[in-house]
Amino acid sequence: MKQLTGLDGAFLAMETHAVFGHVGSVCVLDPKTAPEEVTLDYLIRAIEERLPLVPLFRRRLAEVPLGLDQAWWIDDPDFDIEFHVRELALPKPGSDRQLADQVARLHARPLDRTRPLWELYLISGLPDGHVAIYNKIHHAAVDGVSGGDILSTLLDLAPEGRTVPATEPFTGERPPSALDLLGRSVLSALRQPAHALRVAGRVAWSAPGTAVAFRSLLPRPVAQLLFGEPRDPLLPGARLRAPRTPFNGPVTPHRRWAFAELPLAEVKAVRRATGLTVNDVVMALCAGAVRRWLLDQGALPEAPLVAAVPVSIRTEDQRGTMGNQVSMMLAALPTQVADPAERLAAAHHGMAAAKEQHDAIPARLLADVTQFAMPVLANQAWRLSARLRLFERASPYNLIISNVPGPDVPLYLAGAELLAYYPVSAIFDGNGLNITVMSYRGTMYFGLVACRELVPDLDRLAGYLRTELDALSSL
């Protein structure tokens, strides 16, 4: 048994009828390199062979009665792989739009908490005989890095695969009783005061940086009353305010998913020409694409948008472990800047300020603070905020943008060559748009997720990424 951290539990607590805590991906495969036809039965056998390398796939939640403490992971004694691996086929012609619509529907279904929190779908009917694998897994179990570790376990460097060491037959473990779980919660509660003192010490040690971060979340009159006028011009992020946009509203249970791909060589050419970073270019591409979409809606704010950018705080000795080791920084997204070159420069300055502000506070502050939240209280707080539309009224950011570097060598899943890898991430109340990008074999694969009602034409926004790269390349 292993207990979830407070940050892991937060991704469970935030779930409502419209907000889901899972993330996923779509892998497009060429089955011609596989040793046999890629059927559901073949895929089940291939994944079943790798299960000893991914213990998480056979672990389910054991929730503490009344939500008095964080849940525990236990080996599921009733594990049934056929429940988790499924198949469907696209009707002809099997277009990109059909694939996007089907993935959006699958992504809008919550995971069953009585079973291990993952599902995988084999999708056939794509052009050229290709197949797709859509998978989703709960964010309570993985972050971006640990999710990548799981993917690398399932993928191979050659179609022949690799030998998996023999292991003992899996039997699972007996679920703990309610009394046992409550007893463990009592022991956990006894350790909380010492943990609270350690967290308070870290916060006090970094008080100036923490105050800067806290100030950015407050309305300006309150911030001026508490802190006075900001004196440090090097931290413009401290004065960020997320303006209202059409996608900053309460989300529904329905989703849109769109995808795009851009040559990494073209992105790097812009980087070399400007002396900036690939991530700066990605932020500028997203800023430009969102700007064009907002102009279409007649809803472009005069102020810059604010992007939440996930930051891994996972150390080397934490590689290969499950759970979340992640923080978040807030960066100005210069959607108000019309000129592409000026927008790229502004994106660079916004990221530099965000990093400086983020480095000024303890890296583990988010994880430490969430450790004190009882699941029952955290869940009620999320539901109350949804009913009161608090995140719509006072969200510190407009959208999430994440850029994950990937491998530059061919990979294979069950012998089938991996042609493309598109992320499928999560959205939350008040923040109905997420843009995540993964690089693989010289291509940047963008996956955009949005609330269906807030951004009904998400494919238009995705198409603007190509338009923006053309604009930057022509400078």
**What angle (nearest 5°) sits at the alpha carbon of residue 78, between those of residues 77 and 79?**
100
Asked whether the predicted pLDDT for residue 102 surpasses 80, the reply is: yes
Residue 13: C-alpha distances to residues 37, 71, 106, 182, 298 (Å): 41, 11, 21, 19, 36
**Burial class of 242 by CB neighbour count within 10 A (0 to 12, 13 to 18, 19+):** buried
> How much is the pLDDT for 222?
41
Query: What is the pLDDT averaged over residues 419-430?
Result: 95
* DSSP code, position 49: H
> How much is the pLDDT for 128?
95
> How much is the pLDDT for 406?
87
State pTM to two decimals: 0.86
Dist CA 419 CA 433 (whole Å): 26
Dist CA 459 CA 293 (whole Å): 10
Q: How far is CA 386 from the centre of its chain?
A: 20
Q: How many CB atoms lie within 10 A of CB 457?
A: 14
Query: What is the pLDDT averaged over residues 65-82?
Result: 91
97, 256 contact by CB (below 8 A)? no
Nearest Cα to Cα of residue 409 among 157, 239, 88, 178: 157
135, 159 contact by CB (below 8 A)? no
Give the SS3 label for residue 110.
coil
> How much is the pLDDT for 363?
55
Judged by average pLDDT, the poorest of 106-115, 311-320, 435-444 is 311-320
Dist CA 466 CA 455 (whole Å): 19
pLDDT averaged over every residue in the chain: 85
Domain total of the chain: 1
Query: What is the pLDDT averaged over residues 225-252?
Result: 65
Residue 114 domain flag: no
Beta bridge partners of 74: 60
Query: What is the pLDDT averaged over residues 41-66?
Result: 93
Nearest Cα to Cα of residue 81 among 49, 105, 56, 48: 48
Q: Which of 84, 130, 138, 139 is the catalytic position?
A: 139
Judged by average pLDDT, the poorest of 45-54, 144-153, 227-236, 424-433 is 227-236
**What angle (nearest 5°) sits at the alpha carbon of residue 450, between those of residues 326 and 391?**
65
> How much is the pLDDT for 369?
53
Percent of the chain topping pLDDT 90: 61
Span 279-291, pLDDT tens digits: 999 999 999 999 9
Beta bridge partners of 307: 331, 399
Span 166-212, pLDDT tens digits: 788 888 899 998 888 888 777 665 555 544 445 445 444 444 444 45
Of 164 and 35, the structure prediction assigns the larger pLDDT to: 35
Residue 294 domain flag: yes
Span 382-413, pLDDT tens digits: 677 767 677 766 788 999 999 988 889 999 99
> How much is the pLDDT for 231?
42
> How much is the pLDDT for 317?
66
Asked whether the predicted pLDDT for residue 221 surpasses 70, the reply is: no
Asked whether the predicted pLDDT for residue 220 surpasses 70, the reply is: no
Residue 274 one-letter amino acid: T
* DSSP code, position 413: E
**What angle (nearest 5°) sits at the alpha carbon of residue 317, between those of residues 312 and 319?**
55
| Residue 209: φ, ψ to 5° | -65, -40
The beta strand positions in 397-454, using DSSP E, are: 399-404, 412-413, 416-424, 433-440, 443-451
Dist CA 461 CA 421 (whole Å): 19
Helix crossing, 264-274 with 340-359: angle to 10°?
Answer: 80
> How much is the pLDDT for 475?
85
Asked whether the predicted pLDDT for residue 71 surpasses 50, the reply is: yes
Query: In the structure, how many helices (H) and strands (E) does the chain have?
Result: 15, 16
| Residue 444: φ, ψ to 5° | -100, 120
Q: How far is CA 430 from the centre of its chain?
A: 16
> Is 138 marked active-site?
no
Dist CA 249 CA 431 (whole Å): 7
C-beta contacts of 352-357 below 8 A and 24+ residues apart: 353/234, 353/235, 353/236, 353/237, 354/237, 354/309, 354/329, 354/330, 355/329, 356/234, 356/235, 356/237, 357/209, 357/212, 357/213, 357/216, 357/235, 357/237, 357/238, 357/329, 357/330
Residue 226 domain flag: no
Q: Give the domain CATH number at 261.
A: 3.30.559.30
Residue 105 domain flag: no
H-helix segments, 135-277: 144-154, 178-205, 207-215, 220-227, 264-274
Residue 54 domain flag: no
> How much is the pLDDT for 360?
65
For tokens 């502050």, what's the residue?
365
The beta strand positions in 214-372, using DSSP E, are: 255-263, 305-312, 326-333
The beta strand positions in 31-105, using DSSP E, are: 59-62, 72-75, 85-89
Find the domain containing 452 and state its range: 233-406+427-473
> How much is the pLDDT for 162?
83
